[in-house]
Amino acid sequence: MKNIVAGITLGDANGIGPELIIKTFSDKRMLELCTPVIYGNKQVILHYKKLLENGDFRFEVLKPQETPKPGKIYLRQVGENIKIETGESSKEAGKLAFKALETATHELADNLTDILITAPINKKNIQSEEFKFPGHTEYLANYANEDYPLMLMVHGDLRIGTVTNHLPLKDVSSSLDKDLILKKLMVFNKTLKQDFRIQRPKIAVLSLNPHSGDEGLLGEEENSTIKPALKEANEMGLLTFGPFAADGFFGNSNYRKFDGILAMYHDQGLIPFKSISANEGVNFTAGLPIVRTSPDHGTAYDIAGKNIADAQSFRQAIYLACDVYKRRKEYRALKANSL
């Protein structure tokens, strides 16, 4: 297996992203796992290196046409120097975050890197004529021309995907239909096989309404939309179960019996996930031709620059991206030589 080159986006320069990157790769053991190429601005990295008083973090600016060598940390210089306002939102920081993401995405598509790990962005200040998306997931799906990406939260054997992503709660019900749920189940089933080496994955599906709608008393979506999607999925050979009322499902630890869980909306899946994963969870974008992960938290402006940010989720994002990259290559090789 060749050395994995990991594209690392800076994220919001005023958030904890730069601190997470510096803390993570100050541990030289990480360089045995991958060769990082940080997409960002040298001025920003040097600012936080000094602020954190971290003398162990050393990097080189990657020259045009230069091939990254194992055992080193590289920086791909993008954007212009900005005014760093630690803990504050600014349009300058948003513009730099987008430039880092755009450049990293292009170079990943050109096979100059193998995987992509994105530090947290501010979803508001990054908005522009070039970026009109609710987040990384939608941007990357649009770039890859994929209509059904799956935001998959991963912590060990706990894997929770969402049918709808960054959507106002009032719009969730009207956005759900049988075909959408079925498409998400198909993506989920494929990623569990391809990226997690589970031959016959069992997927639990959560209901939308309390008590699974109480036979229509509290809502019809279970009968009209979710159950028909499950029926069709099972007829296609998928192992899907439910719909389960979310409170009892997690309260009784039923989640331990399944390889994946499909929630109907963002908070339905992420609240129990973050309660269980305890700051070690990872956001993995399934359904794309590339491997992209991120930590399961935001910019954390309130603690930015204070040297107290926990880099564990960011490290786990790198571990998972490398693991998925290897498994995916092995899966394709096995499929190619199946006879």
On whether both 222 and 135 belong to a single domain, the answer is: no
- The mean pLDDT value for 106-112 works out to 95
Q: Do the beta carbons of residue 130 and residue 98 sit within 8 Å?
A: yes
Q: Are 273 and 158 in contact (CB under 8 A)?
A: yes
Q: What is the pLDDT of residue 339?
A: 58
Are residues 129 and 47 part of one domain? yes
**How large a percentage of the chain has pLDDT more than 90?**
87
- Based on the fold, state whether residues 100 and 115 are members of the same structural domain: yes
Overall number of domains in the chain: 2
Mean pLDDT computed over 234-257: 94
Cβ atoms of 84 and 51 closer than 8 Å = no
Per-residue pLDDT tens for 119-156? 999 999 999 999 999 999 999 999 999 999 999 999 99
pLDDT at 338: 58
**C-alpha span between 295 and 20 (Å, rounded):** 10
The answer on 262 and 292 residing in a single domain is: no
* Residues in the chain, total: 339
pLDDT in tens, 309-336: 999 999 999 999 999 999 999 888 887 7
The residues pairing with 94 across neighbouring beta strands, listed in sequence order, are: none
Q: How much is the pLDDT for 269?
A: 95
Reply yes or no on whether the pLDDT at 1 is more than 60. Answer: no
Phi/psi of residue 62, each to 5°? -75, 120
- The average pLDDT across 48-74 equals 92
Residues 6+ apart with CB under 8 A from 170: none
Same domain, 139 and 166: no
Comparing 266 with 332, which gets the higher pLDDT? 266
Main-chain dihedrals φ then ψ at residue 212, nearest 5 degrees: 55, 30
Q: Are residues 224 and 328 in the same domain?
A: no
- Report how far residue 136's alpha carbon sits from residue 322's, in angstroms, rounded to the nearest whole number: 19
Domain shared by 34 and 157, yes or no: no
Q: Are 156 and 253 found together in one domain?
A: yes
209 and 295 belong to one structural domain: no
Question: pLDDT value at position 54?
Answer: 86
Q: Which domain holds residue 155?
A: 147-286
195 and 306 fall within a common domain: no
Claim to verify: residue 31 and residue 126 sit in the same structural domain: yes
* pLDDT higher than 80, residue 56: yes
How far is residue 338 from each of residues 96, 189, 194, 323, 328, measured CA to CA in Å?
A: 46, 19, 14, 22, 15
Q: Are residues 174 and 267 in the same domain?
A: yes
* Mean model confidence pLDDT for the chain: 94
Question: Mind listing the pLDDT tens digit for each residue in 3-42?
Answer: 899 999 999 999 999 999 999 999 999 999 999 999 999 9
Pairwise pLDDT comparison (56 vs 59), residue with the higher score: 59
> What value does the mean pLDDT take over residues 96-102?
97
Whichever domain contains 162, its CATH number is: 3.40.718.10
